[in-house]
Structure 1
Amino acid sequence: MAPAQAKPAPAKARARDLGITFGGETGPLNAITDVSGVLVGHTTLITGEGRLLMGKGPVRTGVTAVLPRGREGMSEPVFAASYALNGNGEMTGTTWVAESGLLSGPVMVTNTSSVGVVRDAVVDWGARHGLGWELGLPVVAETYDGILNDINGFHVKTEHALRTIDGASGGPVAEGNVGGGTGMICHGFKGGIGTASRKLPEALGGYTLGVLVQCNYGSRRLFSVEGVPVGEEIRDLQPCYTGSEAPSSPLVRDMRPCAQSASLTTSTIPEGMGSIIVLVATDAPLLPHQLERIARRVPLAIGKMGGLGEDYSGDIFLAFSTQPVKPPADSPVARVSSLDNGHLNPLFEATVQATQEAILHSMLAADTLTGADGIRVFSLPHDRLVEAMRKYGRHPAPARARAE
């Protein structure tokens, strides 16, 4: 199976193009790659259509990699910390992150059933590059794409994960139906990968903070954007199936044919089933306990968007700082910096702002997708989102219009 490599530049309007800002100033790309040295790669797997045949498809999945120090800096760890709002999910390697305060190598994100092969691929990559020890406990996170994807067909292979690491780059980050986010559903719309960043004013340190999400959580009825109940305003466009037979999965036993979807305004997939992975990168000089404080602010953004940390959701977050941590060659003592705790509030705010924007970007960039058993999940319609924002008086002029 030949993976389809996603184009690096987002093709669809993003939040600020539509006049939705969530506050704060962004970095140049409004992406996690605004944090110097951070690279992102995707490998996207899309093949087949029709009925689900385990092991054959349809395939709607992939792998995403975030490299905190790029490939050249793979041997040098970063300070890091993780936090789980609800732990019905997986992020390998976090036991050592918690013990040591350090993260080595890439952070990989994929589907639930592919965590093992991706984890082993990172170890393989390390062994091939003389970093078997440094990359022996890799961080690999997941969300469940089994509604649209033949998840137990194990279509993500070692070569896909290796190619994702080797193909990671800086610059614009592809969003939506790409990489690990290919088959994901967010608030009842097509979701996936999203990213955003914030640049603090020089008076507050001038630090950059970037976020990348794999968005696969949340109910439609609770979906909110800057306080606007968008899920209540766009109640139709519920997931449906295109074929003549109902989907085989018991998880979607209440799903209706797409021919009836125009009149369908209630959820057709179980509420509270899904997950979100959030990665936060910053160049601010933070120690592990401070990075845990950053990770603990991510749920505030999810709550603002309408998430509850439901029982069947894996809401797991990891934050890291790119400040140097290695001691000089002639000394066992590393000299690192620590931002005073009293100056963390702007970074807390940046985390909440950028996480909200990244979640929305994951939906704005995603295209309607039809997957296993002909199940179709619709993209968030930009025009109706703008209409809802205007209805509640929360729609300033779009960024492009203000610039003209």
Structure 2
Amino acid sequence: MTTLARTLPPSVLLCLLTLASSGFAQSAPTKPRARDLGITFGGKPGANNAITDVPGVEVGHTTLNAQESGARTGVTAVLPRGKDGVAEPVFAATFALNGNGEMTGTHWVDESGELSGPVMITNTNDIGAVRDGVITWAMKRDLAWELGLPIVAETWDGYLSDIGGFHVKAGHAHQALDTARGGPVAEGSVGGGTGMMCHGFKGGIGTASRKLTVTDGGYTVGVLVQCNYGSRRLLSVEGVPVGEEINDLQPCYVGAEKPTGPFTAKLRPCSASSGVTGPTLKEGTGSIIIVVGTDAPLLPHQLKRIARRVALGLGKMGGLGENSSGDIFLAFSTQRLKAPEQSAARSVSVLDNEQMNPLFEATVQATQEAILNSMLAAETMTSARGIRVFPLPHDRLVKALKKYGRLASATAKEGQKPARRTK
């Protein structure tokens, strides 16, 4: 313990430790996002180009990244109505493109058409701890009944994290909830996405949004992904076969001994300066969790339609819903649902189905951009076992899109900082 730490009051020290593990106190260079590179996928984003552009939505992360313990994992929390309105339900629906994954609490969402509480995302083995964390967090606020069936989703980070160490505890879920806020959202190797991979590159958390025109209703659609799916050879950006253009920088290992474990039979030693060429891990493993929020007045069956359209954006990026991939989506609407005092009946609005096409398009666009943002924000990561995974190189991505004539003019001036929160 440092001299400074010894002099701090316990309450202050605990606060600093909480912030450090949450991911918000970490300093890291701000990396360009897709739009800063001129990759737009069409449509107009909201102010932060994040799910938090939907009014009231808050996002929080707890990041665990320690070489000593081997933990490369964490928790991400999405609060549809923020902390102040966490117990007020929203209309919601779920859809599984492929069900080799888990999202707890979905039976009641599908039965009632409503979601109460946050959407939590973590790694496969720590779903139980995060679920317990939501419930104990709720109990401290006398909301145990309202938040009694938490939504907790997962993707597998066993390549880069000591997934068998069960490093995520209930308190880490508390931190993600307590630090949730609006505005820019940290992306890449943060929160539940800390140890995730995407199309053979380093992946993690990504987000994007779309603001519809006044003619189309002026609604906002926001998407957040935990990206951990996909084969390198299938990665496509704006129709460009990026995975074929960048077939090197494949995962590899450093050290004298080859790591053992599931799916590492083809893993090869890293070259002097980078990864290797050609597949080194079993293709099509992993999963992706995608959360869509909107302020459009949609009923649960319409949100199910939105959740299904997520699969189109995933497919455009090269996702197939492979057999061992858990591709699970949730969509919610933030329109108010409270019934008037002394009344058992609610009055809600509903968008005409004929007006939903712009929302479908916005969902597909924002899904693609969020997936790409998750890779663009990531950094090279090496697991405690020596498995090394590389980020998608920005310069080579731009070169590939230029080669195929698919790069739009950059939306940000050269050198301008992107609108995103540093890790």
- Specify the TM-score bucket, using the shorter chain as the normaliser: over 0.9
Q: How far did 1:330 drift?
A: 1.4
> How far, CA to CA, are the matches of 2:273 and 2:349 in structure 1?
56
Match of residue 5 from structure 1: 22
Residues 22 and 176 in structure 2, CA contact (< 8 A), matched pair in contact too:
no
Residues 237 and 261 in structure 1, CA contact (< 8 A), matched pair in contact too:
no
Q: Does 1:291 align with 2:303?
A: yes
Q: How far did 1:4 drift?
A: 2.7
Q: How far did 1:253 drift?
A: 1.7
> How far, CA to CA, are the matches of 1:106 and 1:359 in structure 2?
21
Matched position secondary structure for 1:399: coil
> How far, CA to CA, are the matches of 2:354 and 2:414 in structure 1?
35
Structure 1 residue aligned with 2:319, among 302, 307, 311?
307
Q: Does 1:85 align with 2:97?
A: yes
Matched position secondary structure for 1:13: coil
> How far, CA to CA, are the matches of 1:231 and 1:85 in structure 2?
22
Match of residue 131 from structure 2: 119
Match of residue 316 from structure 1: 328
> How far, CA to CA, are the matches of 2:24 and 2:105 in structure 1?
30
Correspondence list, 1:8-157, <5 A: 11-48=30-67, 57-157=69-169
Correspondence list, 1:1-400, <5 A: 4-7=21-24, 11-48=30-67, 57-259=69-271, 264-400=276-412
Q: Which amino acid aligns with 1:308?
A: L
Q: How far did 1:260 drift?
A: 6.9
Residues 29 and 172 in structure 1, CA contact (< 8 A), matched pair in contact too:
yes
Matched position secondary structure for 1:203: coil
Residues 294 and 347 in structure 1, CA contact (< 8 A), matched pair in contact too:
yes
Q: How far did 1:262 drift?
A: 5.5
> How far, CA to CA, are the matches of 1:326 and 1:222 in structure 2?
45
Match of residue 52 from structure 1: none
> How far, CA to CA, are the matches of 1:6 and 1:398 in structure 2?
29
Residues 93 and 303 in structure 2, CA contact (< 8 A), matched pair in contact too:
yes
1:403–1:336 CA distance, 2 compared to 1 (3 A) = farther
1:10–1:316 CA distance, 2 compared to 1 (3 A) = farther
> Which is further off, 8-17 or 142-151?
8-17
Q: Which amino acid aligns with 1:39?
A: E
Q: Which amino acid aligns with 2:89?
A: P
Q: How far did 1:44 drift?
A: 0.3
Residues 247 and 253 in structure 1, CA contact (< 8 A), matched pair in contact too:
no
Q: Which runs of 5+ in 2 are unaligned?
A: 1-16, 417-423
Q: Which runs of 5+ in 1 are unaligned?
A: 50-56
> How far, CA to CA, are the matches of 1:403 and 1:25 in structure 2?
22
Q: How far did 1:402 drift?
A: 9.3
Q: How far did 1:265 drift?
A: 1.9
Q: How far did 1:259 drift?
A: 2.5
Q: Which amino acid aligns with 2:405?
A: G
Q: Which amino acid aligns with 1:398?
A: A
Q: How far did 1:267 drift?
A: 1.1
> How far, CA to CA, are the matches of 2:131 and 2:336 in structure 1?
25
Match of residue 53 from structure 1: none
> How far, CA to CA, are the matches of 2:408 and 2:324 in structure 1?
36
> How far, CA to CA, are the matches of 2:187 and 2:179 in structure 1?
16
TM-score, normalization: structure 2? 0.91
Residues 10 and 174 in structure 1, CA contact (< 8 A), matched pair in contact too:
no
1:263–1:139 CA distance, 2 compared to 1 (3 A) = closer
Q: Which amino acid aligns with 1:388?
A: A
Residues 43 and 64 in structure 1, CA contact (< 8 A), matched pair in contact too:
yes
Matched position secondary structure for 1:66: strand
Residues 178 and 192 in structure 1, CA contact (< 8 A), matched pair in contact too:
yes
Residues 286 and 339 in structure 1, CA contact (< 8 A), matched pair in contact too:
yes
Residues 205 and 226 in structure 2, CA contact (< 8 A), matched pair in contact too:
yes
Q: Which amino acid aligns with 1:221?
A: R
1:59–1:262 CA distance, 2 compared to 1 (3 A) = closer
Residues 236 and 261 in structure 1, CA contact (< 8 A), matched pair in contact too:
no
Q: How far did 1:243 drift?
A: 1.1
Query: CA RMSD for the aligned pairs?
Result: 1.7
Residues 10 and 175 in structure 1, CA contact (< 8 A), matched pair in contact too:
no
Instruction: Encode CA deviations 1:305-353: one digit per residue, 9 max, x unaligned.
Output: 0010000000000000000011012100000000000000000000000
> How far, CA to CA, are the matches of 2:317 and 2:52 in structure 1?
23
Residues 215 and 275 in structure 1, CA contact (< 8 A), matched pair in contact too:
yes
Count of matched residue positions in the alignment of Structure 1 and Structure 2: 397
Q: How far did 1:186 drift?
A: 0.1
> How far, CA to CA, are the matches of 1:22 and 1:127 in structure 2?
43
Q: Which amino acid aligns with 2:175?
A: R
> How far, CA to CA, are the matches of 1:220 and 1:48 in structure 2?
27
> How far, CA to CA, are the matches of 1:353 and 1:190 in structure 2?
21
